[in-house]
Amino acid sequence: MQQHVVVTLTDTEEEKGSEPPSTMRAEEPPSSSLNDPAVPPKAAGQWNDWRWQIRNRIRTLGQLSGYVPGLSGRDDLKSVIGKYPMAITPYYASLIRRADLSDPVFRMSVPNRQELQDPPCLSEDPLEEHVDMPVPGLIHRYRDRALLIATTTCSMYCRHCTRKRIAGTRESSISTRRLRQVVEYLQSHPEISDVIVSGGDPLTMPDASVESVLSAVRSVPSVQVIRIGTRVPVVLPMRITEDLTALLRRYHPVWINTHFNHPNELTPESAAACAKLADAGIPLGNQSVLLRGVNDQPQVIEQLCRGLIGMRVRPYYLYQCDLVRGVEHFRTSVRAGVEIMEYLRGRVSGIAIPTFVIDAPHGGGKIPVLPSYVVSMSPTHTVLRNYEGLLVNYPEPGVESMAEEPSELGASPGVWDLASGRASVIQPARTLRAQRRESIRSRRVGQATGFLFDQ
């Protein structure tokens, strides 16, 4: 249940969670029957044309109320859009299943007046990116990496964006002169081997501009890897054309990190876009942001991560929301993220588990935050716990055997016995794994052991 209800029609309506969703996801792309002349009529072939999608983004409240009739007359949102622009591709709008804040796609794309309510701990640029910018548009924070803001344009302006201060406020892309300065800086800093092309969303630029940026960066011999940060596979999947993938292949090694936050964003269209990129030899990672009311339930992240690996996208980071102005209503506790990590470990494969990080204020970089798995340490042993609650010790090199003395606690060793080597494991009694082992053991009674296969 959401705590703050602003854009919904009424509080009561939001609470109708048990009603069937009034889906806006049409089998076919939406037609002009979506009841507003502002919504462009579909024409054959246009829906799958990414330029058409960009040209017809929902940018005004009038257009938006064509999709969400309950928003007509919500003039209070004008000031929100005035500060933080709105743009929603018709494709992404079609993923809204219920036109209120209980819907994750709605929540991430439709402006909310809470964006203007900032507690004092928030700032425009909490990561202090502008301080780490030796030339305009290039952030150099870690020694071997740099991030290039290639454009301030996105096809969809996420309401939770960490670069709200620039995304969409003036839609423009890097000039040739600025790009030259960036190349000069990279040339004079050969320690930078990894350049992240970001924005805004760099894949909203036309192919020729994407190529200019990639060829400029690739011209620097010390740059080994180019990474592209883009939300296009999520909000504008038709942008991943054969021409674009052919272009990207020319600049390998190219990696892409995308930004899926919720399983409802995993559609046949987004899967097809990711498949094209993966088939072009581009390793794909995903950076999610932990967002209140969107994906702060462990089961939602599990479903998302399982879906992503099915699409050949490796869950990479799960970000705690930055302390950026305009996103307070999206912030969760750090505990919520730790709980999700605890839930995932042991339940899904390691390749489906992202690293939960806090991007430290003041430009401190990403700090992983984990549940605690190291229980104790001694000069000879480290005591660890697994996802089931099993406690086990790991001997340091050179520790030849377990100590001979029995546990001081007799048959019930404690953590000290593990740390000192008097016991090696404390097993929880009734785990599924223990039951499976027991059943294997009982089936094996009387059977020869030592062979994997019949002789």
By CB under 6 A, residue 426 contacts ligand SF4 = no
Segments in 295-405 forming alpha helices (H): 298-310, 334-344
By CB under 6 A, residue 216 contacts ligand SF4 = no
By CB under 6 A, residue 157 contacts ligand SF4 = yes
8 Å CB contact between 30 and 68 = no
Site string for ligand SF4, 383-412 (x = CB under 6 A): ------------------------------
By CB under 6 A, residue 40 contacts ligand SF4 = no
The residue within the footprint of ligand SF4, chosen from 163, 276, 331, 381 (CB under 6 A), is 163
Kind and range of the H or E element at 438?
A: helix 432-444
By CB under 6 A, residue 231 contacts ligand SF4 = yes
8 Å CB contact between 251 and 214 = yes
Kind and range of the H or E element at 435?
A: helix 432-444
Residue 385 half-sphere exposure toward CB, CA atoms < 13 A: 14
Cα-Cα-Cα-Cα dihedral of 320, 323, 325, 331, to 10°?
Answer: 40
Stretch that binds ligand SF4, among 23-31, 158-166, 261-269, 373-381 (CB under 6 A): 158-166
Between helix 176-188 and helix 207-218 the angle, nearest 10°, is 20
* Catalytic annotation, residues: 141-142, 145, 154, 158, 161, 163, 322, 359, 366
By CB under 6 A, residue 154 contacts ligand SF4 = yes
Q: Which is nearer to ligand SF4, 66 or 233 (CB)?
A: 233
Stretch that binds ligand SF4, among 150-158, 350-358, 407-415, 441-449 (CB under 6 A): 150-158
By CB under 6 A, residue 167 contacts ligand SF4 = yes
Distance of alpha carbon 197 from alpha carbon 237, whole angstroms: 18
Residue 273 half-sphere exposure toward CB, CA atoms < 13 A: 25
Dihedral sign from CA coordinates of 272, 278, 281, 282: positive
CB of 350 to ligand SF4, least distance (A): 27
**What does the block give as tokens for 14?**
């939001």
8 Å CB contact between 324 and 280 = no
Stretch that binds ligand SF4, among 10-18, 194-202, 269-277, 423-431 (CB under 6 A): 194-202
* 255-294 residues near ligand SF4, rule: CB under 6 A: none
Q: Which is nearer to ligand SF4, 163 or 292 (CB)?
A: 163
Given phi > 0 = left and psi -120 to 50 = alpha, else beta, which region is 167?
A: beta
The residue within the footprint of ligand SF4, chosen from 58, 161, 192, 277 (CB under 6 A), is 161
By CB under 6 A, residue 422 contacts ligand SF4 = no
Q: What is the C-alpha radius of gyration for the chain, rounded to an integer number of angstroms?
A: 26
By CB under 6 A, residue 30 contacts ligand SF4 = no
CB of 91 to ligand SF4, least distance (A): 14
Residues in contact with ligand SF4 by CB under 6 A are: 154, 157-158, 161, 163, 167, 199-201, 231
